[in-house]
Amino acid sequence: MARRSFLRYAGAGVAGAGLLAITSSCHKDNQNPTVGIDIGAKGDLAILNYAYALEQLEAAFYINVAAHMYTGATPDEIALLTDIRDHEVAHREFFKAALGTNAIATLTPNFSAIDFTSRAKVLAAAQAFEDTGVTAYNGAGYLIQSATYLTLAGKIVSVEARHASYIRNLLSPGSFADTTVLDANGMDKQQTIAQVLPIANTYLTTKVSASNYGYVAV
């Protein structure tokens, strides 16, 4: 077993991050139309593009929700779901602006699996997006090399968690942080890029890969 493998296995973060940094010098998007889009070479630009992809998906989802509000939505639900839409659009546009010419292309979502007329279906999808978003940001935090970008990711993830708490309580009062998302230590869980992107890709026509982080869309 090579030492490198051991580092990954034992989760020795500092040493691991050092190894990753070696490969982070140049960034090129692999935008192969037959495969989709790749977030690029290891490094902060890839992580920002990963976040940009997820925020594009969330923004598109809530734009749809707000434009075709489900049957029986209360004024309070309409107001707060519209707020969430605006937050996700702000996140999306922030990443687009921050990445500039390094940004991946605009993704085409596919929400055909979601019945936007159904409160239960829409909120269940929203809950999945928000909870997954939290695990995605939490899991990618240690990969970020810039303190500024790490703080920015922190500024966004707590807002995603606020959304998750609200959506969960709409579906099931009191479930804002229940044992289906938290562990026995009362902590959220993290997911890797390779765990999150396959979930996101089920709602994307443009498939997103992270070949340098162990995931290629099929």
Specify the residue, 72 or 100, whose C-beta has the smaller distance to another protein. Answer: 100
* Partner residues linked to 209 by β-bridges: 38
User: Mask 61-100, x = binds another protein (CB under 8 A)?
Assistant: --x--x-------------x--x-xxxxxxx-xx--xx--
CA atoms of 205 and 182, how far apart (whole Å): 31
Binding flags for another protein, 29-68, as an x/- string (CB under 8 A): ----------------------------------x--x--
Smallest distance from the beta carbon of 218 to another protein, in angstroms? 28
Q: Does 144 bind another protein (CB under 8 A)?
A: yes
Q: What angle do CA 132, 137, 143 make, to 5 degrees?
A: 135
Burial of residue 100 (number of CB atoms within 10 Å: 0-12, 13-18, 19+): exposed
Residue from 169, 172, 202, 205 in contact with another protein (CB under 8 A): 169
82 vs 76: CA distance, rounded Å? 10
* Cα gap 99→104, rounded to integer Å: 9
Number of H helices, E strands in the chain: 7, 2
**Residue 150 binds to another protein (criterion: CB under 8 A):** yes
177 binds another protein (CB under 8 A): yes
Nearer of residues 89 and 199 to another protein, judged by Cβ: 89
> What CA–CA distances, in Å, run from 209 to 52, 128, 142, 195?
13, 20, 20, 11
Residues that bind another protein (CB under 8 A): 1-3, 6, 9-14, 16-18, 63, 66, 80, 83, 85-91, 93-94, 97-98, 134, 137-139, 141-142, 144-145, 147-152, 154-166, 169, 173-174, 176-178, 182-190
